[in-house]
Structure 1
């Protein structure tokens, strides 16, 4: 798909990026709705349509991975990602700040449960979008495992996210989402 996106030219990258982010947003909405988080699903990733994120996404669109990775490799950082993570509470990076104890270390602050649930939906949808027919109930867990050691997360947030990801992996989406809605979000 990567070569195909380049062969399509700017207009092809425009439509490819627009349809990819819209499909991702639709999947997140569907997952969030199943958890009873309709408003979060509707508002999810609206910043991806802002000029600061959208046009970078078009420029670096490949179709099989995030354009943020490509911008990071080409330019040394992803301005689209820096814009995105600072505006979307479902990203763990939104919650990173300096330790108030004055250690100078960065720490992860505890995320609200609804934000962790939206993060789960985001990870499931991204796995579906990029893996396509290779997606399994274990895909989001496997992706998380690859980066787990460098994530800066509050211990309670880490435990909750891992619990949710493992539920999906072990029970499948339908059963896991029902359990999360009934037992975790209803508290």
Structure 2
């Protein structure tokens, strides 16, 4: 009986990960980030990430929160953030001036993938209750403890506000425009 419960959680977690990855793929392709859409979150299939995800699966929030609460840390999250450049935590380093830890400026393509990821995560966990304001609201609840470069924060916040205020089509069009403009100015 316990094996059936574990298998069910394993399958539910697999379904959630695949659903999330599919949404990110669609969002990245709307922006023009084809390779990133295809390779997004592949580390979630590594043993350390997938095992924790299946064990702590809830369906309505990240399993990393539950693992962190139980153990005091999340080995899955530590593994994930260290391998995925679309997470702001990947870009935290010591400041060159010796003042401590700070956020490094993220390349635009990773900021845009982070935007796509946040929209997809909100859609995955909120389901039918999703609203275009959800990714912004989630960001606003957490931003006070982020270590993020000011320009990275400005770009992400701008896109989240456009999504919230003007809708998905406008937000993804704006992200696509930003990427085109960057390529043109190279």
Shorter-chain TM-score category? Answer: over 0.9
2:104 to 109, 115, 119: 109
Q: Which runs of 5+ in 1 are unaligned?
A: 1-5
**Which residue in 1 is equivalent to 2:168?**
173
Following TM superposition, the consecutive aligned residue runs of length 4 or more in structure 1 with deviations greater than 6 angstroms are none
Q: What SS is found at the alignment partner of 1:97? A: strand
Residue 152 of structure 1 and its aligned partner are, at CA, apart by: 0.6
Q: What SS is found at the alignment partner of 1:185? A: helix
The reply to whether residue 186 of structure 1 matches residue 177 of structure 2 is no
Q: Which runs of 5+ in 2 are unaligned?
A: 182-186
**Which residue in 1 is equivalent to 2:184?**
none
Deviations 1:53-112 (A, max 9, x none): 001111100111100000000111000000000000000000000111112x11000000
**TM-score under structure 2 normalisation?**
0.94
**Which residue in 2 is equivalent to 1:48?**
44
1:66 to 62, 68, 74: 62
**Which residue in 1 is equivalent to 2:76?**
80
Residue 9 of structure 1 and its aligned partner are, at CA, apart by: 1.1
Root-mean-square deviation (Å): 1.0
**Which residue in 2 is equivalent to 1:30?**
26
2:129 to 134, 147, 163: 134
**Which residue in 1 is equivalent to 2:140?**
145
Q: How many residues align?
A: 179
Residue 175 of structure 1 and its aligned partner are, at CA, apart by: 1.6
